[in-house]
Amino acid sequence: MKPVKIAMMGMTHGHTRKYYQTLLDNQKLDWVASCAQDADAKKTYELYKTGVPCYLDPEEMYKKHPDIEAVVIASANDRHFEQMKWCAEKGIHILSMKIPTFDMKEYDEMIAMCDKAGIVCQIELEMHYNSVVRRLEKLVKEGAIGKIKSVQATNITLSPVWAFPWQGDPKSSFGSVVPLKAGDPRFRGGALCDHPHIFDLIRHLTGSSFDYIYAEVAPNLRDGLKVEDMLMAVGKMKDGTAFLFDPSWSRLEEKLKVPGPGWERFPKRMEVNVTITGDKGMITCDCFGPNVYHNGAPNDRYTVQYTYFDEWIGLIDEFVDCIRNHKTPLINLKWHKETIQSMLGCYESIKSGKIAKVGK
């Protein structure tokens, strides 16, 4: 199979660096270029010494590499629309970060332009390629715990805002400046926007759709942050499954400009834990464990060092397979729309203090 000529754009998203190894190792890919949002992003990119040229102007990149077939759009959420448009106009396949946009008008335009261009647009929800999630889905599918009655899930992390400031900026993260609720000085665009995975996962596990959702924000842990960092949501799926989600930035961090050892202050940077109660049993699941543990440099405090990060391999494999074999990705724009609507439902509920019907 001819390797897919691939590029990266933006280079300001927190997941950007996680692609490097896979793009270099996978023989089905030929990583030809990168295009950074700005000089700072280019400087950070160059720290990783990938050997792949980096441009600041997408047109210049395209002029030098007119054979680019696919792009990983690794940028702030409010840049996705224009970058997707740029790709669609050139017939370039897209791997989008987890939030294409929260603006549903824009979202529908994204669907239309990708359909019109006949390109693959895959959304990066890498948890599907995590081996623990794969086991979890298999057990549920095989009926190990019967019919699901309840799902509790955390997608809790440190906050990436110090390394990726756009994630603390309401406009860049949410797409527009919208207050959380009356009398609250904060805006939409924080932890919730960083954590769609559990809103997606429950749809796959239950095979059902969201009915309603109720969410509450708590006081922020980080002074001066304009967006929410602590919130929780409860709700119901259309098949009756009750859920409780925690998508917070509840693990504190050092204010590093470039992620690296010592970033975490709480020992574990990221936890996706799922508890499922079924009518015949229950499951508890830690999607990022076991690991190794130390209290060495740089901060001499108890730290969980991950041993898992192969999600990006499966994610990219699927993307290539979809491009070469004309398949539709599992997480495509149309499928993902309801996940985005459920997250918007959280914001609507926070604003109104009432349940929000999802998709209404």
Partner 1 sequence: MNLKKMNKGLDFLRGKYGAAKGQITVKDGHCFVGSTPLLPGRMERKIVELKKMTENGTLEGVSTLRFAAFAPKGVDMEAMLAKELDLAAYLGASDIVRVMAVASGNAINVLAKLANDVNVSVEIGAGLPKGAEPYDRHEIIAKRGVACDQTVDTHTKHESIRCWGAEGMAEYTDVDTELFGLSYDEIWNVRAAFALLQKRADAKVWKAAWAKATKAAKLAFAADKSKAAKTIAVKKGLDTNQSIKVAEVR
Please report, as a single letter, which amino acid is at residue 45.
Answer: Y
Q: Which of 40, 179, 302, 354 binds partner 1 (CB under 8 A)?
A: 302
Q: Which of 116, 135, 147, 334 binds partner 1 (CB under 8 A)?
A: 135
Q: At what angle do helices 104-117 and 80-90 cross, to 10 degrees?
A: 10
Element housing 83 (H / E): helix 80-90
Compute the distance between CA of residue 13 and CA of residue 56 in angstroms, rounded to an integer: 16
Stretch of 84-92, 153-161, 310-318, 324-332 lying at the interface with partner 1 (CB under 8 A) = 310-318
> What are the residues facing 55 on neighbouring strands?
35
323 binds partner 1 (CB under 8 A): no
The half-sphere exposure of 250 on its side-chain side, counting CA atoms within 13 A, is 15
311 binds partner 1 (CB under 8 A): yes
Q: Which of 95, 110, 151, 287 binds partner 1 (CB under 8 A)?
A: 287
Element housing 31 (H / E): strand 29-36
Residue with smaller CB distance to partner 1, 225 or 272: 272
Alpha helices in 235-332 (DSSP H): 311-325
Compute the distance between CA of residue 213 and CA of residue 195 in angstroms, rounded to an integer: 16
**Binding footprint of partner 1, residue count (CB under 8 A):** 46
Conformational region of residue 144, where left means phi above 0, alpha means psi within -120 to 50, and beta covers everything else? alpha
293 binds partner 1 (CB under 8 A): yes
Q: Which of 52, 111, 145, 330 binds partner 1 (CB under 8 A)?
A: 145
The token pair at 71 is 């792009």
Residue with smaller CB distance to partner 1, 63 or 141: 141
313 binds partner 1 (CB under 8 A): yes
Question: Least distance from C-beta 261 to partner 1, angstroms?
Answer: 7
User: Mask: binding to partner 1, 58-97, rule CB under 8 A, as x and -?
Assistant: ----------------------------------------
C-alpha separations of 8 from 17, 57, 118, 164 in Å: 11, 12, 20, 17
Question: Least distance from C-beta 48 to partner 1, angstroms?
Answer: 9
Could you list the residues that contact partner 1 (CB under 8 A)? 21, 25-28, 129-132, 134-136, 139, 144-145, 259-261, 280-287, 289-297, 300, 302, 305-311, 313-314
